[in-house]
Amino acid sequence: MHTDVLFRHIDRTESLNNYLHEKAEAIAEDFFKHDPDAHVTVRVEIVRGRIAARKPSFRCEVILKPTKSRETIKVVKASDNFFEAAQKSIQALKRTLSRRSERLAYDRKHEDRRNTA
């Protein structure tokens, strides 16, 4: 599994990098066990800078490119809290992959029924 973590307008720290790397890779490995060359990219950026009257806004984007499929999965979430934006995007990725997995299992199940009829 190849995982890249990119920061834009945010200072990269080892703890932030490790947090995003571990979370994204754990979710991707759960659903792509048989695709070790899948590529995960996590981008984190400040969308709206901090001034005296407002808080900064963070956006976390997770892009997953499996090698055995042409489909690219992209999830983008934003929040005023860095960790909340990261957590929302990881949860959304998990839901998306879960739905995709359920849909594929459903299609396989009904394909067998169509072939036997």
Each residue's pLDDT tens digit, 99-113 = 887 776 666 677 766
Give the SS3 label for residue 65. Answer: strand
pTM of the predicted protein model: 0.78
Each residue's pLDDT tens digit, 50-104 = 676 778 889 999 999 988 888 899 999 999 999 999 999 999 999 998 888 777 6
* Structural domain total, the chain: 1
Q: Which amino acid is at 28?
A: A
Q: How many Å apart are CA 57 and CA 79, to the nearest integer?
A: 6
Provide the mean pLDDT of the chain: 85
Section 3-32 average pLDDT: 89
Q: Inter-axis angle of helices 82-116 and 14-31, to 10 degrees?
A: 10
Angle CA 9–46–81, to nearest 5: 130
Structure tokens at 80: 């005023």
Which residue range is the domain that position 63 belongs to?
A: 2-116
Q: How many Å apart are CA 23 and CA 3, to the nearest integer?
A: 11
What CATH number corresponds to the domain at position 19? Answer: 3.30.160.100
